[in-house]
Amino acid sequence: MTTETLLQHASELLAPFAKASNNPESNRLDVQITPGDLPAAAAALSNASWGYLAAITGMDLAPEINELEALYHFCDKAAITTLRVHLPREDQPEIPSISDKIPAASFFERELSEMLGVTVVGTPDPSRLFLPDDWPTGVYPARRDFKIEDAAPVPVVRKTPEPGRVGNRFVVPIGPQHPALKEPGHFEFSVDGEVITGARMRLGYVHRGIEKATEGRNWIQNLYLLERVCGICSHTHASAYAQGVEKLAGVEVPPRALAIREFVAGLERIHSHLLWLGVSAHEAGFDSLFMYSWRDRETVMNLLEELTGNRVNYSICILGGVKQDIVAEHTETIHKSLDYLEERIRYYLDVVTTDVTFLQRTRNIGTMSLEEATLYGTLGPTARASGLERDVRVDAPYGAYSQFPVTMVTAERGDLEARFVVRMNELLVTCATLRAIADNLPAGDIATRFPRKVPAGETVSRVEAPRGEAFYYIKSGGGDSPVRLKIRTPSLCNWTSVLNKVVGHQLADVPMLIAGMDPCFSCNDRMVTVHRKDDSSTITWAELRKYGIEKYKRG
Amino acid sequence: MKIGSMFKDLVVSFFSPPVTEKYPFEKIDTAERFRAKLCFDPAKCTGCNLCSLDCPADALQIVIIDRAAKRFVAHYDMDKCVYCSQCVQSCKFKCITLSNSEWELASLDKDSFAVNFGKDADIATFLERANAPAPEPPQQG
Amino acid sequence: MTTLIALLSIMFFPAGIALILSGMLYEWADRKLVARFQNRIGPRWFQPLADTIKLLSKEEIKPSGLNGILFYGLPIVALTGALTAALYAPVLGFAPIHSFPGDLIVTLYMLSLLTICMGLAGWNTSSRFSTIGATRSLTQLFAYEAPFLLALLGPAMVANSWMIKDISAYADAHWWIILTQPVGFVVALIGLMGKLELPPFDAPEAETEIVAGALTEYSGRGLALFHIGKSIELVVAVSLVAAFYLGGIGNPVVFLIKTLGIVLLMALLQAMLTRLRIDQTVGMWWRFGALLALLQVLVLVLLKGWLV
């Protein structure tokens, strides 16, 4: 099915609900609907299996229009349909939930309600997702009149927690500080002996308010800010942003630059998957695989350093192209490194599929069927391991992927072993693609001129990060900075699958299950709540630091 | 199905030297394109300020001593810099480069992170201005 | 005079201080060998000593609301158990300081005392992680105890004695028992790794799942004592297996070579295998371990009865 046919189909499905509709770009359809029609419209798309819910963006249209807008983005292959709902700009306007039909929407709705200040009626979990418990009510970061001074923490009074038993459940907390987690997140697992009976989670420990921060920086500065959303998929974020902004400005990037971007993205995929392999092995207790895969990862890091100037945060994208070129002197190193990496990756593939003790920890554990994967809205290799064919590089080729395509790698069983197999096979495909690029780099410039002001408009940019689809919605008002930038990282979509799959497994499998979806958390600067025996008070980071220094000075 | 699929690797490593780099006793060279400390050449600067505007970390400011005489001082905060090299791209006159060897910048003295580039006389003028006491607010009549 | 010599032996050499120091040495050897298998450098020789000194000098934080006597006392009892077990084993290549018939069983149970104390300590501190760790620790204790004891019983049967000194002397005088009872050796080696909670049997202290298992809430002195107890357990248990299966331990040089050989083997197994889940550990032990050990003992009984 071509993109036009898909959009046509969506248009027909939404015809009974559409107040107005238009095609702002060749691959997008925007449909205005009333809040009341939202569940029916979403159901129409979901019943016809038209794509999946990719993100929900909340926007404050002030000061131009005194309204709030919620955008529901659905993606099917390369076609993107956005349902646009206008809401009155008051405190907590209501909008109905679509989570009963689309469970994956729950996380997005939580974010929408806490950031924009809307009440999502009927959502299964209305609690906060990213904002901390001591964030004051009535203060919404996504609104235009938000001031950070308003967000002074409000004291939270908590009962002293009971040691272990909560009613009939024995709750094991994992995080925010736990050796299993490389980044903070909070999970509460109710266990019965060793078997898990329930799971809850809390995010936001590394939430930095980057979306809001982009509104105060110019287009070029944002490139570097967005690179630092994540350390392991930094290039993905930079290239997604650059791609979107270039589309808005109508700038055509030279093919050589696009090929170099794809090359660096491929190297990033190798380094990310090897990192993940090591971390998962460590979670399983197989430290040797951890050590060896990270040793071999050094080859990729050194290659990236040689080509881009840094091992992490390569900063190779600029608006209009790339900064550094791949020249003839590099070709030999590239080929030698790729040969070595391919040999080692084949070896690791063999290890994860044949080692008896490792298979005992991964085979038939966390099995997710194709239906479940679709229902939970999973993305990336986690979804592909269950047979769900979703890969932006193949569905909606961007950049140089039309010239240097990749094949999609899927597996059938959907257990942990399948996830290992998919990722390792993906790397083998990537190595082959990288060789093709290195040998056939298109001639030409590596960058073109880019205007300092980007014309007004909206666009959607989707890129395949090592963890799945990274979704960017960028709105420009014609000035130096974006008006609204929405980032939906792939890990957010995969949490639902973990929380659902974990029930029924043993506690010992939990780190592997979490690691199996390759999580990448997001972060926040938190206040510390200290529980002293008789009172509960909040102290700031500065006070805590002072307290610690003084305590040891006394001794 | 094997028990101990990594056996060969383990045994080979046992008889080989470890791969760990014994920093700081052994240092390997960084790549040629490695991005480390900034270096500014005031001779070619025109004071367009694009580098400072585009810096994502507010690490670089161009101080104008005398625009007509093309006397500029670049004030560089090493601790704020993220070594992204956007300034290198933004400067049309190639005044800025990033060293690829000066990356061991840790220090116990925070003041050493603020670096000024320019002709000595210009830097002196800049520091005088920076350290001069704030002018008296005008008296209300 | 003999009392004085005995006292000095117990406190300084070869038990006591010397044992503690050699325990640290063996812990270092284990970590270094595993590191070398993983292509790393590994710690320097004084690392475990430095760790212990650091721990002893740190503040000990007692979580509120639990039994203070147990909290402070269990590490001491655990260390005592480990040190006492060393009195009957040929540590450092010297004859056991004291011997009596049946001291094989006493030694093994002294070593198990260490594990039981850790389990109790975990239950006492009642943090979520320590409770699960304690449960796993005690579950594992029940799993490997029987096969390990049976595996050590094999040499005892052929030596016709329950005294470690005698068994060691017998092993010295005859063919290495590993050749005549290979199955027993395998079970003993794996049992050793279970006893010492080394990977792949480190589910009780699985760092990535339950932080530090039963000892999660311990810090400072208490943790140091448990740590020292564990390293002593390493020396004593390895020296037992070496004495029985690898042809006795007559002098310090032989002791060093044979025990380090076993440590090398254990390091290789540590590096090669993934951690087993607790249910997989118990399943494996009760299915293969116990069965194999029983088989070995059965064969010995039959042979003895037939030959005699």
Question: Is a pLDDT exceeding 60 seen at residue A166?
Answer: no
pLDDT digits (tens, 9 = 90+) for A409-450: 999 999 999 999 999 999 999 999 999 999 999 999 999 999
Higher pLDDT among residues C62 and A157, named by residue: C62
CA-based nearest residue in chain A for residue B82: A224
> What angle (nearest 5°) sits at the alpha carbon of residue A281, between those of residues A279 and A284?
110
Higher pLDDT among residues C12 and A255, named by residue: A255
Q: How far apart, in whole angstroms, are the C-alpha atoms of residue C130 and residue C4?
A: 42
Burial grade of A479 (CB within 10 A; 0-12, 13-18, 19 or more): middle
Asked if C24 and C235 count as a contact pair (C-beta separation under 8 A), the reply is no
A210-488 under CATH 1.10.4190.10, yes or no: no
CA-based nearest residue in chain C for residue A178: C211
B4 to C36: CB separation less than 8 angstroms, yes or no: no
Which amino acid is residue C218, in one-letter code? Answer: Y
Closest CA to A507 of A192, A116, A229: A192
Beta strands in A94-137 (DSSP E): 94-96, 119-121
Radius of gyration over every alpha carbon of chain B, rounded to an integer in angstroms? 24
Closest Cβ opposite residue C279 in set A284, A506, A511: A506
On chain B, the residues whose CB falls within 8 A of the CB of C35 are: 18
- B49 and A CB contact within 8 Å: no
Beta strands in A332-477 (DSSP E): 457-465, 468-476
Which amino acid is residue A71, in one-letter code? Answer: L
- List the beta bridge partners of residue A172: A189
Q: How far apart, in whole angstroms, are the C-alpha atoms of residue A218 and residue A451?
A: 12
Question: Is a pLDDT exceeding 90 seen at residue C40?
Answer: yes
φ, ψ for residue A67, nearest 5 deg: -145, 165
Question: Is a pLDDT exceeding 90 seen at residue A32?
Answer: yes
Q: Which chains touch C (3 or more CB pairs under 8 A)?
A: A, B
ipTM of model? 0.90
Beta strands in A283-424 (DSSP E): 317-318, 321-322
A292 to C39: CB separation less than 8 angstroms, yes or no: yes
Work out the minimum CA distance from C42 to partner chain B, whole angstroms: 9
Task: Report the mean per-residue pLDDT for chain A.
Answer: 87
Q: How far apart, in whole angstroms, are the C-alpha atoms of residue A65 and residue A86?
A: 10
C271 to A180: CB separation less than 8 angstroms, yes or no: no
Question: Is a pLDDT exceeding 60 seen at residue C287?
Answer: yes
Read off the pLDDT band of A525 (50, 70, 90).
very low
3-state helix, strand, coil in chain B (%, to 5): 25, 20, 55
Collapsed DSSP state (helix, strand, coil) of residue B104: coil
Q: How far apart, in whole angstroms, are the C-alpha atoms of residue A370 and residue A373?
A: 5
A287 to C132: CB separation less than 8 angstroms, yes or no: no
Q: How far apart, in whole angstroms, are the C-alpha atoms of residue A290 and residue A277?
A: 7
On chain A, the residues whose CB falls within 8 A of the CB of B54 are: 218, 220-221
Collapsed DSSP state (helix, strand, coil) of residue A59: strand
Interface A–B counts its CB contacts (< 8 A) at 79
Closest Cβ opposite residue B4 in set C41, C42, C272: C272
Work out the minimum CA distance from A214 to partner chain C, whole angstroms: 36
Percent of chain A with pLDDT over 90: 60
Closest CA to A346 of A281, A403, A429: A429
Read off the pLDDT band of A45 (50, 70, 90).
very high
Q: Which of A175-189, A382-396, B13-27 has the lowest mean pLDDT?
A: A175-189
Asked if B91 and B59 count as a contact pair (C-beta separation under 8 A), the reply is no
Which residues touch B24 (CB under 8 Å, ≥6 apart)?
none
Which residues touch A436 (CB under 8 Å, ≥6 apart)?
A404
Which amino acid is residue B69, in one-letter code? Answer: A
Asked if A163 and A466 count as a contact pair (C-beta separation under 8 A), the reply is no
Question: Is a pLDDT exceeding 80 seen at residue A160?
Answer: no
Q: Which of A324-328, A443-447, A508-512, C135-139 has the lowest mean pLDDT?
A: A508-512
Q: How far apart, in whole angstroms, are the C-alpha atoms of residue A58 and residue A138?
A: 16
- List the beta bridge partners of residue A60: A68
Q: Where are the domains of chain A?
A: 3-151, 165-207+492-554, 210-488
Helix axes C17-37, C252-272, angle to 10 degrees: 40
What is the average pLDDT across C252-278?
Answer: 91
> What angle (nearest 5°) sits at the alpha carbon of residue A304, between those of residues A299 and A305?
95
Task: Give pairs for A481-484: CB < 8 Å, separation 24+.
Answer: A481/A214, A481/A215, A481/A216, A481/A217, A481/A218, A481/A219, A481/A222, A482/A214, A482/A215, A482/A219, A482/A222, A483/A215, A484/A57, A484/A59, A484/A211, A484/A215
Work out the minimum CA distance from B29 to partner chain C, whole angstroms: 21
Higher pLDDT among residues B122 and A417, named by residue: A417
CATH of the domain spanning A3-151:
3.30.460.80
